[in-house]
Amino acid sequence: MINPNVLTNIPGLEALDHANLLILFTRFRNLPDDQMAHIDAYLKSGRPVLGIRTATHAFNLSGNSKYAHYSNGYKGELKEWEDGFGRLVLGERWYMHHGHHRHQSTVGRIASGEEQHPILRGIKDGDIWGSTDVYGVRLPLPGDARPLVLGQVTNRTGEYDADDIFFGLRPTDAEPDAAKNSPMMPIVWLKSYQLPGGQAGQSMTSTIGAATDLLNEGVRRELVNGVYFLVGLADKIPASGTNVDLVGDYQPQAYGNQPDKIWKQKSLRPDSFRK
């Protein structure tokens, strides 16, 4: 049964042994060593990684774990791993909400000089929008991190609505928060990574990408274009960008935590999503 509140189990990670790409969208997972071993081996091989939103704080492993250094904010003896997986592989750990959570939205502004990057094909300045707030990062990002999209913090026009999937925020909201946009935070970037004792690899991070963000065509396109880029198929991305039409009936819920009883009532299993 699918229950996102279970932090200690992701079955099937052995698929990483032969995978071409790891797409990671977890939050504070505390996985057993035998499962973490597949993730560690994948990353040491230098294969590419796409980290979405909470992937900056993907792991929060117990102190006796062999892989405790993956934990968000790690400050242990392994100095190369300071701040954990998020900082070493993606470029930043969980740091802060920069925008006002549930009260300010995010407009994607293409970073200067990156207009022709393959990941941004078919995406114009301002196309990317999400009701999720901009995550704060420490600037400049480490190493060779290359920001592609910056997040403009935008004020709401309408009233707060706790029952609305966007909390009353809308893509038509147009007033930037001047103070929070000086400077703007990167929300999509590329970075090379290398685990100690491993091969060099490439990561892409998109701190926009919650379920409701995926209703936005620009968000979907930067992620799908990014997949093509990371697996070496940038030349296959059309000039207009990849086709990111929704498949089926996509009706996401607002982001937030749900109690175990909800997931037990839903009783969803992987087969529930097979067509």
pLDDT tens digits along 256-271? 889 999 999 999 998 9
Averaged over 70-91, what is the pLDDT?
A: 98
Give the mean pLDDT of 92-103.
Answer: 97
Residue 258: inside a domain, yes or no? Answer: no
Q: What integer is the mean pLDDT of 91-107?
A: 97
260 in a structural domain: no
Residue 33 to residue 21: CA distance in whole angstroms: 21
The alpha carbon of residue 271 and the mean position of all alpha carbons in its chain are separated, in whole angstroms, by: 25
> Global pTM?
0.97
Q: How many domains does the chain have?
A: 1
Per-residue pLDDT, averaged over 10-18, amounts to 97
pLDDT confidence of 43, banded at 50, 70, 90? very high
Q: Is the pLDDT of residue 213 over 90?
A: yes
Q: What is the pLDDT of residues 149-173, one digit of tens each?
A: 999 999 999 999 999 999 999 999 9
The answer to whether residue 157 sits within a structural domain is yes
- Cα atoms found within 13 Å of the Cα of residue 91, Cβ hemisphere only: 33
Is the residue at 257 inside a domain?
Answer: no
Predicted pLDDT at 208:
98
Residue 22: which domain range?
13-237
Q: Which helix (H) or strand (E) holds 51?
A: strand 49-52
Long-range contacts from 169-175, C-beta under 8 angstroms, 24+ separation: 169/102, 169/103, 169/104, 169/105, 169/131, 170/105, 171/105, 171/129, 171/216, 173/105
The CATH number that applies at residue 78 is 3.40.50
274 pLDDT higher than 90: no
Query: Residue 129, CB half-sphere, CA atoms under 13 Å: how many?
Result: 18
Q: What is the pLDDT of residue 76?
A: 96
Peptide bond into 32 cis (omega under 30): no
Residue 272 in domain = no
Which pLDDT does position 273 carry in this prediction? 82
Give domain status of residue 42, yes or no.
yes
Bridge pairing between strands 49-52 and 22-24: parallel
Mean pLDDT of 201-205: 98
pLDDT digits (tens, 9 = 90+) for 173-190: 999 999 999 999 999 999
Nearest to 132 by CA among 158, 149, 108, 159: 108
